[in-house]
Amino acid sequence: MNFGTKGGGASVSRNRSKAFFQENIMKFLFNLLLPAVLFAAAAFQTVTLTAAEVKTVASPSGIVRMDVSVGETLTWSLTFDGKTVLAPSRLGLTFKNAPALGEMKIADCSVKTIRETWSNPLSKKSTYVDHCAEMTLKVAETAAPNRELILVFRAYDDGIALRYIVPDQAALPGAFVLTSDDTQFAFTGDWTCWASDQKQFNTSQEKEFPQMKLSDITENAFAICPLVISGDFGYCALMESDLLKWAGAQFAAVPGGNKAGGPCTLAVRLTPRADGNGCVLRETGARSPWRVVTLGKKAVDLINNSGIVLNCATPCVLEDTSWIEAGASSWDWWSEGNKVLNTDTLKARIDLAAANGWKFTTLDDPWYFNSKFQYKPEFLTDTASGCGTIDLPEAFAYARSKGVKIYLWMHYQDFDFCGHERTFTAYEKWGAAGMKIDFMDSDNQERVEWIEDVVKNAAKHRLMINFHGMYKPTGMERTYPNQITREGILGNEYNKFGEVTPKHCATLPFTRWLCGPGDFTPGGFVNRQPEHAYRQKNLQTPSCCEQGTRAHALAMCLITDSPCLTICDSPWNYANQPGFSFLKNIPAVWDETVAVDGEIGKFYLHYRRSGDKFYAGAITDAEARSLTLKLDFLKPGKTYTAQIFCDTPESGGQNVKDAEKIAEIVQDVTSADTLTIQMVRNGGWTAIFTEK
C-alpha cells in the first residue's frame, strides 16, 4: 500500500502532511487541555476567594505562639519553644436551631500588651504578674445569616488563654442558646496524660487522675479540668477560667479523632442546662469562660505557672474585703462522723484551734438534725437544738472568748428551703465565720449562677463560703474572695469509706491543685501503711486512718492549697503525739510557693514562704526515695534554725503502727547548705526554717 507518490510530488505531500499534523495536534492538545486549564483557573479563583487569613499572636518573649486561621473553617494552632503542641484545631460555637458557622472573614483585629501586677493575700503566692500579648479578633460569616463572633487570645510565656464573645447583632437579636462549644485540641501524638473521667455530667468531681494515653479518652468521656498531657513539647494542662453565667467544661475525644499512636483530638464538652434548653442561655454581649492551656518543659513548671487561671479571672468585685481572712480550722466530722456531737465536743475542737493558732473550727453534718437524725426546719430560730445537745449560743460565746470563729455546714437543699437571706441573717447575727455548703454536684449554667448568687449575697453579711460537692476552681476566688475554698477533689475523707493512696497524693499538686484551692482536709494521725489501712464501718469506727506515714500526713498539710486549711483529726488523737508541733500556727496562705522537683504520681518536693519564715515539704509514693534540697532560697548571710520532721527507718515497717513513727531533728542551716531527704515507702518530710 502506498500513501504517497515518489519524486517531487512526494516532497510536496510530506510538507502538506507536516502542516496538517501540526495544525491538528495543536487543536488536539488545546481541546485536551482546555478543561484542565479552565478547572485550574476556576480552582485558583476559588482559593483566592476563600483563602484563609492567618493572624498570629506571640507571648512577650516569643516562646509561645498561636496562629489563627479564618476562612472556610476557623482554626488555631499552638507552638511552644518551636515545638508543636496543637496542630490546627477547630474553633467556634454552635447555636440552637441554626446551621453550623459557615465561611468566615476577619472584620477587625487588634493586638495589645498587658502587664499588670496585683496582690492576692489569699493564695499560694501574694503577688501575681499578668504579662501577655492579647489579640482581639472579630470574625463574620461571608454569607447569610452573617453571624459575628469575637475571639480573644492571650499568649503568655507559660501558656495561653482564649475566649468567645457573642456581640449584639441582627443575626442573634437580643439573646442566644448555645448547644456546644466547638473548641478542639489537636495533639500530634498519642501522648501520656492524667485524666479524671467522671463518667457523667453533674458530679462532685471527686475521682483520681489516673495515668493513661490520650487515645484512652473516648468520645463519651467526661474528663474534667485539669487534663494534663506530657508530650515531646513538654507538659501542658487544659483548664478554664472565669466560669460565670456559663456551663462548665469537660473534655472528650472528637468522634474518630483519637487513634492509638496518634494523632489525638479532644473537644470541649459543656454540661447541659437543667431545663433541657441547650447548654447556655445568654443575652448577646456575653463572654464565655477562658479556655486555658498552661505550658512547661517539666512537670513542676505547671505548678510554678505565673497564674493564668487567676490572671484571666474577673478582678475582685467586692468593695470591702478587709473582713475576709485565711486560716486553719479544726473539724468534727472526719474522726467520728459526728456520732458524739454535743456542746462539749464542739468546745473541745474550739480549744484545739485556740491552742494551736488556728482561726476556725468547722461544725459539720448533721448539727441541725435531731437525735434521730431527722431534719429540723426550725433550727434557725431554735438555736439551742441540733444533733445531740448543742447549745449554739453558748458555743458561739465560748468561741468568741477563745478568739475562734465557726463555719457552719449546711446541705444546699436545706439552704434553699430555709431561704438564703434568712440563713445569712441568722449566721451573721450568731457571729459565724461562714458556711460550708454541700452536695450541689453540678456545673450546669443554672448551678453556676446559683453559686455566684450565694457568694455575692454572703459577702453582704460578711460570710465566707466553703463549697463542698462542688466543681473545680476557675478563678472565682479572685472575683469573690469570700469564696474561700472548695472541694471538687478526692480528699482525705475518702479514707473513711474508700482509700486515698500516697500515689494519688503525689498526683494532686500536678493536677487538681493547678486549678486552685482544694479542701483536701489533711492531718490524720492514725497513720497506716496501705496493707494495714482500714475503713470506717458505717462511719462509726471511733477513729479513721490515713494511708502513709506520720511525716507524710504532715507534708500533706503543707502541700494542700486551701485558704481555709481544714485539719481533720480529733483533739484526743493529737494529744501528746510526736510531730503535732509542726501544725501549730501553720499558715494557710503564702507569700511564695516554689515547686522544686517531682514526677506526677511519684513524688513532690517544694518550699513555701510566709513572711520571713520558710517551710519545705516532700512526699513519695510506694517507693522509698532520697532527694536533695538546696537551701539557696534562704536569705544569704543569715543562720536559720531548721526544725525537721521525717520518717524513721521503722516508719516503712510491717507492724501495724510503724507508720506513726516520726523523728524530729533541730539543726542550724544557711543558704549555702544542702539537705538530704530520706523518705520510706509512702513517706514524707517537712521542715520549718526560722531566722535566728
| 155-182 residue pLDDT tens | 999 999 999 999 999 999 999 999 999 9
Q: Give me the pLDDT at residue 497, please.
A: 86
* Residue 575, all three cell numbers: 494529744
Q: How far apart are CA 670 and CA 637, in angstroms?
A: 7
Q: Give me the pLDDT at residue 366, please.
A: 80
Q: How far apart are CA 688 and CA 607, in angstroms?
A: 10
* Residue 403, all three cell numbers: 478568739
Reported as a single tens digit per residue, the pLDDT across 580-634 is 999 999 999 999 999 999 999 999 999 999 999 999 999 999 999 999 999 999 9
Q: How many CA atoms lie within 13 A of 403 on its CB side?
A: 8
Phi, psi angles (nearest 5°) of residue 36 = -65, -40
Q: Where are the beta strands (DSSP E) in 226-284?
A: 227-231, 234-241, 249-258, 264-270, 280-283
Q: Give me the pLDDT at residue 365, please.
A: 86
String of b and e for 571-609 (b: at least 16 CB within 10 Å)? Answer: bebbeeeebbebbeebbbbbbebbbbebebbbbbbbbbb
Q: How far apart are CA 683 and CA 502, in angstroms?
A: 8
User: Does 50 have pLDDT greater than 80?
Assistant: no
Q: How far apart are CA 12 and CA 5, in angstroms?
A: 10
Q: Give me the pLDDT at residue 473, please.
A: 99
Query: Exposed, middle or buried, 177 (CB in 10 Å: 0-12/13-18/19+)?
Result: middle
DSSP 3-state percent helix, strand, coil across the chain (nearest 5): 25, 35, 40
Identity (one letter) of the amino acid at 450? W
User: Does 47 have pLDDT greater than 50?
Assistant: no
Range name among 37-46, 121-130, 341-350, 644-653 with the lowest pLDDT average: 37-46
| Cα distances (angstroms) measured from residue 224 to each of 1, 98, 194, 466, 489 | 87, 28, 10, 20, 11
The number of helix segments (H) and strand segments (E) in the chain equals 15, 37
Residue 52: which residues within 8 A CB-CB, separation 6 or more? 69, 70, 71, 72, 73
Radius of gyration of the chain (CA): 31
Residue keyed to cell 495589645: 112
pTM of the model: 0.91
Q: How far apart are CA 653 and CA 351, in angstroms?
A: 34
Task: Identify the DSSP state of 499.
Answer: -
Please state the rounded mean pLDDT for residues 55-74.
Answer: 99
* Residue 168, all three cell numbers: 449584639
- Residues for the chain: how many in total? 692
For the CA atoms of 31, 36, 41, 47, what is the dihedral angle to 10 degrees? 170
Residue 432 pLDDT grade (very low, low, confident, very high; cuts 50, 70, 90): very high
User: Does 17 have pLDDT greater than 60?
Assistant: no
Q: Give me the pLDDT at residue 374, please.
A: 60
Q: Is the CB of residue 289 less than 8 Å from the CB of residue 241? A: yes
* Residue 190, all three cell numbers: 498519642
Q: Give me the pLDDT at residue 555, please.
A: 99
